[in-house]
Amino acid sequence: MKDVLKIAEKVAVDAILSAGRVARQIFNEDDVLVEEKGPFGDVVTEVDYLAEKVILNKIKEHFPKHQIRSEETGWSGVEGEWLWVVDPLDGTNNFAIGLPIFAVAITLLYKKQPVLGVIYDSMIDKIYMAEINKGAICEDEFIHIKSSSSIEKMTVGWIQGHVVQKNPEAMRLKQFLDLKFKRTLSLWAPSILWAMLARGDIDGIILYNSEGDDLYGGQLLAKEAGAIVMDFEGNPFEGMSSEPYIIACHPDHKNKFLEIVKEGLDEKVG
């Protein structure tokens, strides 16, 4: 596995930089092709396709036998021990309305466990990378999550899946988080939130049924930066899940975050 990861790291960084440059260049142009996607008001842009093509070509060139799951083209290749998960433009809706909050996310999984995660914040030109059991880095420096003094002073990220929409339980929980924490931040670019948690700029993430292609690299980055990543029952989040419900925070705050989420889910309107 070590030999594969050594090559995979170089391939992922090369691919993610190339894809990010495409996004940054087109973002500054006047006319960007945008199309509706799915029943929930989501969109896809020409950048999604162009960036995806760049990434997939580079992966297939070096790892032709690896399976790939990508945001726009779906699954390709033969199922095996290795799987690449690609989000060529995480934050497409932001990109489409001219909001410069978007990223590229690439993850390599071995036997359904993430072993390499790379996130590129395209507009500020920063790469975040985590390899299993080797820590999390940004710009060749190790990054770490932080432990805040009080819940009331914390900022937490909120991530929800496309299918969630205005689900009453999800909306109650999000509203409850707004009451408990200083701020609940919803960026619609989950990989950016994972990077913010890993570098200590936010204090936690609550994820409600969102199995995006940014998830696995993001949670690996957070873990390698020192976060605990668990489900709503407090069990460690491992492997892949089609309907994940996740809390990520500093280990010092595990019990408090679990308590707040449970209370928020039990909160009744009326």
CB 240 within 8 A of CB 216: yes
Which one-letter amino acid corresponds to residue 230? M
CB 120 within 8 A of CB 126: yes
Going by C-alpha positions, the residue among 25, 208, 189, 220 that lies closest to residue 112 is 220
**Close Cβ partners of 159 (under 8 Å, ≥ 6 residues apart):** 186, 190, 193, 205, 206, 207, 208, 210, 212
- Measure the N-to-C terminal CA separation of the chain; round to a whole number of Å: 55
User: Annotation-wise, does 213 bind a ligand?
Assistant: no
Identify the three-state secondary structure at position 98.
coil
CB 130 within 8 A of CB 197: no
User: Annotation-wise, does 90 bind a ligand?
Assistant: yes
User: Annotation-wise, does 201 bind a ligand?
Assistant: no
For residue 41, what is the DSSP state? T
What the block records as the tokens of 199 is: 């570098």
Phi-psi region of 140 (alpha: psi -120 to 50; beta: other; left: phi over 0): left
Quick one: 111 exposed, middle or buried, by C-beta within 10 A (0-12, 13-18, 19+)? exposed
CA distances 33 to 48, 49, 122, 129, 145, Å, are: 10, 11, 19, 30, 38
Instruction: Show binding-site residues for Mg(2+).
Output: 71, 87, 89-90, 214
Instruction: Show binding-site residues.
Output: 71, 87, 89-90, 214
